[in-house]
Structure formats: structure tokens, C-alpha cells
A = this chain, B = another copy of it.
Amino acid sequence: MNLYGKDLICTQEWKIKELEAVLELAAKMKRDRYSPRWTSLLQHRTFLMFFYNPSVRTRQSFETAATELGGHAQFLEPRAMRLKTATTAGETIEDAANVMSRFAHGLGIRILEDQISAYGEGDDLLREYAKWCTIPVISMAHDKFHPCQGLADLMGLHTHLGDVKGKKTLVTWGSGALVRSWCSPQEYMLITSRFGMNVTLAYPEGYDLDPEVIAQVKANCAQNGTSFEIVHDSVSGYDGADVVYSRNWMSPVAYASGELDKASERAKAALHPGWITDAARMKRTNNALFIHPMPVDRGSEVTDEIASGPRSIIYDVAENRLHVQKALMALTMTDAL
């Protein structure tokens, strides 16, 4: 297996054993964070970070990852770039990608809902960069997927549950005003179903996720002989769950106006109060872990009691972002391992 140069846009596109290689290396890197085995892997090498959307945590974890591998991550805001579009003059992605490939050893891109005019455009952009770049392109979260978050989630489950095969995870919509992306819950369902978990998805009517992703999750479950179900109440999905994942997300009509209509989404979400992970609901589970991609909207998605409780692994999973990203960069930007 050689991952050198491989793009990561969605974990589903990588083989199980390739993902396992990342997770194994990440676990070693977590145990022995500053080992000379890895602190020079990216020495004098550059990782470009394109933030179409600003971010604090993703930036911190990627930039720290490069530093810990001996390299340097550049924080770039592409508003400075004038790319060619259907209606405006500018540079082609072909040209931009070819030149970046001369300077750097990897390219991360983050592009979320409010920088695009329809779901899927961010994914298209990443694939266009990946087509022309000779260096690996890594999603740092885009409209469809968030593979590094998915890997960090699974690493957390491995640590706290051991083998996840046959375990049940609930993925539930959470109340709140934050109009969140689909990328994290979609990636989470893909990778957990792929690794053998039973998945229950709970959300109010009108909050369907991407039907293609749901079909893939079903296919993953079918292949593993596990179950996938959707419920539309905020309680029953907790029954017997080993892991509870709660998260607000936007509805499929968020772009009806051609741009992300946050005000309308907030009004819609306000019609569904009480979709919150609380102690009463957690009592129905199999002493479930609580997991969340952060930032947490405490009091809406989850109570403080649960988010800060003994079964919450949110900080550990957040830390895992660093380790899985270090492992990914080491495996795709060098062929030293």
C-alpha cells in the first residue's frame, strides 16, 4: 500500500485498509507525539491551506500538524484569488493548481455553505483542484464531506469502545440556531457504517440529508449485515445506543434563494425545540458515549450535564483531529513511511 500523492475528499473513496493505516499511524503519533520518527517528515515542506471559509479549530489543528512534522502550513484566504467563472475573467483552476504543485507538497481546502450557491459546488471545486494538482488535495471540510473529522471520530470510538463492529450509533438532529453543514454527520455515518456499526438517524420531518449519501450508508450497512433506520422523533433512537452523536444541521431547501438563507433556516429550526441530548434520553442507551464534532451549541444540541459528563469524549475527539491529520500528511505528502 502506498498513499503518496493520494487525495482525500471523502473516506468512502479510500479502502478500509488504507483508512486503517492512517488510524494506526495516528494512534502511534498520539502515544509518542514528538518522536523523532516523525518530527522531520515534512522538514522544509509546505502544506497550503485554502480557507474559503474562516475557521479557528481546523486551522489550528492543520497548522499545528505541519509544525509537529517539521514543516510549515500556509494560511491562505482565496478571496485574494480571482478565479475564472462562467461570467467573470480570472485564472483557471488548471493554472492555479499546476503552479501550487510546483511550490508545495499538499493542499487543503475548506469551503462551506455560505461560499457556494448550491449544495455540491464545494465538492466540485475540490475535485477540480484534485484533477489538476500533482500534490494531494485534502478536504478540510466542505459542503458534502469532512473526512478528517470522520477519521477523528472513529479514532475516538476505537479508543473508548474498542472494536466498533455491531455497536449501535444514533445520529440525531439537534435544536439550535447555528445552521450547520451536512458534512460532519454525513462523513460520520459513512465511516461508522463502513466499519460495521448499526446506524439510527433521527431528525424532524423536512431535515433529510443528501439522498446519495444515505444510499451509500445503507449500502455500507447491507454489506456488513448491520441495520440502518431513520426515525422522526427525538427519543426512540436512543434505545440501546452505544454512541450518541447530536448535531444541528440545515434543511435541504437552505439554498432556495441561490444563497444560504440563514434567517429562514433559523426560523425553521425554531419550530423544533427540544431535540436535545439530555440525561433522560441518555438513560435509554447502553451507557452510550457522547460524541460531537464541535463547536457544541450547549443548551440546544446537548445539555451541559452530558457534554461535560463522564461519557463525553468531545475533547479527545477534537484532539484526534491533530493526530489523524499528521498521519494523513505523513502518508500522502511523503513516501518516507
Chain A residues packing against B (C-beta within 8 Å)? 34, 39, 43-46, 48, 54-57, 59-61, 63-64, 67-68, 70-72, 74-82, 84, 89-92, 94-96, 98-100, 102-104, 176-178, 294-298, 300, 307-308, 314-315, 318-319, 322
A78's nearest neighbour on chain B, judged by CB, is B56
Q: Are A80 and B67 in contact (CB under 8 A)?
A: no
By a CB distance below 8 angstroms, the chain B residues around A74 are 59-60, 63-64, 75
Task: Give complex CA distance A121, B270 in Å.
Answer: 31
6 A-B pairs whose Cβ atoms sit less than 8 Å apart in the complex? A34-B44, A46-B67, A63-B74, A67-B71, A82-B295, A99-B294
* A102 and B316 alpha carbons, distance in the complex (Å): 8
In the complex, the answer to whether A60 meets B48 with C-beta atoms within 8 Å is: yes
A48 cross-chain contacts in B, Cβ below 8 A: 60
Q: Are B67 and A294 in contact, CB atoms less than 8 angstroms apart?
A: no
A297 touches which of B64, B81, B90 (Cβ 8 Å) = B90
| B72 with A294: CB separation less than 8 A | no
Q: Decide: A319 near B99, CB < 8 A? Known: A44-B34, A44-B68, A82-B295.
A: yes
Asked whether A46 and B64 contact (CB < 8 A) given A57-B99, A84-B298, A90-B295, the answer is yes
Complex CA–CA separation, A95 to B57 (angstroms): 11
A91 to B54, CA, bound (A): 15
Which residue on chain B has the smallest CB distance to residue A80? B54
A74 vs B65: C-alpha distance in the bound complex, in angstroms? 12
Is the pair A98, B315 in contact by a Cβ cutoff of 8 Å?
yes
Chain B residues with CB under 8 A of A84: 298
Residues of B within 8 A of A294 (CB): 91, 95, 99
Indicate if the CB atoms of B89 and A297 lie closer than 8 Å: yes
Are B46 and A89 touching (Cβ within 8 A)? no
Residue of B nearest to A60 (CB): B103
- Pairwise interchain contact B70-A44, C-beta atoms closer than 8 A: yes
| Bound Cα distance from A11 to B230, whole angstroms | 58
Residues of B within 8 A of A44 (CB): 34, 39, 67-68, 70
- For the complex, give the distance between the alpha carbons of A100 and B64 in Å: 11
Question: Which residues of chain B have C-beta atoms less than 8 A from A315's C-beta?
Answer: 98-99, 102
The residues of B that contact A60 with a CB separation of less than 8 Å are: 46, 48, 74, 76, 99-100, 103-104
Q: Return chain B residues, CB-CB under 8 Å to A79.
A: 54
Determine whether the beta carbon of B89 is less than 8 Å from that of A177.
Answer: yes
